[in-house]
């Protein structure tokens, strides 16, 4: 997940937040200041409730960060590199670069976060009890008690057995330990996560429709997110197994469909864009070097009367904005992004020259062939399919 703002580093790990954290912060502060704190501690001015609510919300985000940091530190202990930790609307994400070396490590990495959340719940509960015993006032007791309850819920909820929750990773680690099949264990956790997401959606809809409680919409949103994430994880596991050892050059479409900087928009649309299914096309200079990309949407913004005059080189996006691939790169590192993009296209380049193009269709075909036990091999342009076309003539 892309960070909107970088907060710094903890234990050498980059820490950041996604813009959606602002949404959850506003909702938390509003709920605490308007409902939770006044309900547990009456008689304070509104400004006091709002001030304490901000402090409690910040402590809650700190608890989320501690949860993710626990995952990250245990992962690093077992040799797994941690790229970053990002806090967002529905919690936090520890971006791990690599796999746990064995099932025991996978289990401990997964358990670390919920354990820290449950320990945090105990610490906040003890602090609330201490505040009450010392006469610190009902406002402090209410805030600390809320933090204890929320951390307990966070720890228990994350232990539910379905990916992408920590409990799903615990389930996958246990199944891997028992069966010795990492990929199969992760597929099972992904299926469990899909079922769990569906149950949460159903529970939310029941709450909305039968109890007329629109708070159930949060369950619907959460269930929808879990189901989508579980499906994505299952797909990634299947891709990694099916595409192991396959390179971008084995799968790319070649020769590539492309345009040229000197070609008019009208000619390019008539001879290339209208005949091929892509929405984005590479643009080459007259020496055959990749200089940019052009989309149909971008071409459509040029007035019809100017399309004979305007050249592709004038409207193409610079190549430094493109996701350029190396034919020797492992396909599994590229496949998820292309599949998620639907009609995404990425140029494949060697020494600045266009070697081919990669689309989600190329990835899907390679996956289907791999499932048949066939290794795709279209590197070097020796073979083509009905989706491969020769470059446009630059003289046109």
Single out the residue in 242, 260, 291 at which a domain terminates. 242
Question: Do 271 and 189 belong to one domain?
Answer: no
Question: Do 307 and 348 belong to one domain?
Answer: yes
Question: Do 268 and 145 belong to one domain?
Answer: no
CATH number of 289's domain: 3.10.580.10
Q: What whole-number distance in Å separates Cα of residue 353 and Cα of residue 75?
A: 40
pLDDT tens-digit map of 345-367 = 788 988 888 888 888 788 878 87
Domain of residue 29: give its range.
5-159
Question: Do 337 and 318 belong to one domain?
Answer: yes
Question: What backbone torsions phi and psi does residue 230 show, to the nearest 5 degrees?
Answer: -65, -45
| Polymer length in residues for the chain | 396
Q: What whole-number distance in Å separates Cα of residue 96 and Cα of residue 77?
A: 12
Q: Does 169 map to a domain? A: no
Question: Do 201 and 273 belong to one domain?
Answer: no
Task: Name the β-bridge partners of 6.
Answer: 16
Question: Do 185 and 326 belong to one domain?
Answer: no
CA angle 96–17–320, rounded 5-degree value: 75
Residue 178 in 3-state DSSP?
helix
Question: Do 187 and 237 belong to one domain?
Answer: yes
Q: Which of 131, 138, 96, 75 is nearest to 1 (CA)?
A: 96
Question: What backbone torsions phi and psi does residue 180 show, to the nearest 5 degrees?
Answer: 75, 15
> Does the structure show a pLDDT above 50 at 38?
yes
- Other C-beta atoms lying within 10 Å of the C-beta of residue 185: 23
Q: Does 172 map to a domain? A: no
Q: Does 170 map to a domain? A: no
Lowest-confidence pick of 54-63, 142-151, 282-291, 299-308: 282-291
Q: Does 315 map to a domain? A: yes
Q: What whole-number distance in Å separates Cα of residue 24 and Cα of residue 160?
A: 22
- Other C-beta atoms lying within 10 Å of the C-beta of residue 332: 18
Environment class of 396 (CB within 10 Å of its CB; exposed 0-12, middle 13-18, buried 19+): middle
Q: What whole-number distance in Å separates Cα of residue 250 and Cα of residue 241?
A: 16
Residue 365 in 3-state DSSP?
helix
Residue 340, pLDDT score: 57
Single out the residue in 242, 261, 291 at which a domain terminates. 242
Question: Do 291 and 341 belong to one domain?
Answer: yes
Question: Do 12 and 155 belong to one domain?
Answer: yes
Q: Which of 120, 112, 105 is nearest to 72 (CA)?
A: 112
Whether 111 contacts 119, CB under 8 Å: no
Single out the residue in 101, 125, 159 at which a domain terminates. 159
- Region 18-37: what's the mean pLDDT? 91
User: Which residues lie below 8 Å from residue 364, measured CB to CB, with a gap of 6+?
Assistant: 339
Handedness of CA 180, 182, 186, 188 (dihedral sign): negative
Q: Does 392 map to a domain? A: no
Annotated active-site residue 368? The verdict is no
Question: Do 217 and 278 belong to one domain?
Answer: no
> Does the structure show a pLDDT above 60 at 379?
no
pLDDT tens-digit map of 284-322 = 998 888 888 999 999 999 999 999 999 999 999 887 766
Q: Does 283 map to a domain? A: yes
Q: Which of 60, 56, 18 is nearest to 35 (CA)?
A: 56
Residue 387, pLDDT score: 34
Q: Does 394 map to a domain? A: no
Q: Does 391 map to a domain? A: no
Preceding omega of 164 cis (within 30 degrees of 0):
yes
Question: Do 20 and 151 belong to one domain?
Answer: yes
pLDDT tens-digit map of 83-127 = 889 988 778 888 887 789 999 999 999 999 999 999 999 999 999
pLDDT tens-digit map of 154-189 = 999 999 998 889 999 999 999 999 999 888 898 899
Buried-state track 9-41, b at ≥16 Cβ within 10 A, e below 16: eeeebbbbbbeebeebbeebbeebbeebbbeeb
Catalytic-labelled residue, pool 68, 99, 314, 371: 68
Residue 317 in 3-state DSSP?
strand
Q: What whole-number distance in Å separates Cα of residue 306 and Cα of residue 269?
A: 13
Question: Do 149 and 201 belong to one domain?
Answer: no
Number of domains observed in the structure of the chain: 3
DSSP state of 318: E
């Amino acid at each position: 997940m892309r960070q909107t703002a970088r907060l710094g580093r903890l234990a050498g790990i980059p820490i950041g937040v996604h813009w959606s954290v602002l949404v959850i912060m506003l909702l938390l502060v509003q709920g605490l200041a308007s409902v939770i704190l006044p309900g547990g501690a009456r008689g304070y001015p509104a400004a006091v409730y709002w001030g304490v609510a901000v402090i409690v919300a910040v402590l809650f985000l700190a608890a989320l960060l501690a949860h993710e940091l626990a995952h990250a530190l245990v992962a690093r202990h077992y040799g797994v590199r941690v790229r970053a930790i990002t806090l967002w609307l529905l919690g936090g994400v520890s971006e791990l670069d690599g796999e746990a070396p064995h099932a025991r490590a996978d289990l401990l990495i997964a358990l670390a976060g919920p354990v820290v959340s449950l320990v945090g719940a105990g610490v906040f509960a003890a602090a609330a009890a201490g505040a009450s015993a010392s006469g610190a006032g009902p406002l402090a007791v209410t805030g600390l008690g809320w933090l204890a309850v929320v951390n307990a819920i966070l720890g228990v909820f994350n232990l539910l057995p379905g990916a992408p929750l920590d409990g799903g990773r615990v389930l996958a680690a246990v199944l891997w330990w028992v069966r010795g099949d990492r990929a199969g264990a992760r597929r099972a956790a992904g299926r469990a996560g899909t079922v769990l997401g569906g149950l949460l959606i159903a529970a939310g809809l029941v709450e909305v429709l039968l109890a007329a409680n629109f708070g159930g919409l949060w369950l619907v949103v959460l269930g929808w997110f879990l189901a989508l994430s579980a499906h994505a994880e299952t797909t990634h596991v299947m891709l990694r197994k099916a595409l192991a050892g396959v390179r971008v050059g084995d799968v790319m479409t070649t020769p590539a469909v492309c345009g040229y900087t000197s070609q008019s928009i009208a000619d390019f649309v008539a001879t290339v864009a209208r005949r091929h299914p892509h929405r984005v096309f590479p643009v080459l200079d007259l020496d055959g070097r990749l200089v940019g990309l052009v989309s149909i949407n971008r071409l459509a913004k040029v007035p019809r009367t100017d399309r004979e005059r305007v050249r592709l080189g004038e409207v193409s996006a610079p190549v430094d904005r493109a996701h350029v691939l190396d034919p020797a790169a492992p396909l599994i590192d590229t496949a998820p992004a292309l599949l998620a993009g639907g009609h995404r296209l990425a140029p494949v380049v060697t020494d600045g020259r266009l070697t081919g193009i990669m689309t989600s269709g190329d990835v899907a075909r390679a996956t289907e062939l791999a499932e048949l036990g066939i290794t795709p091999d279209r590197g070097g342009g020796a073979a083509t399919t009905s989706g491969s076309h020769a470059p446009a003539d630059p003289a046109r």
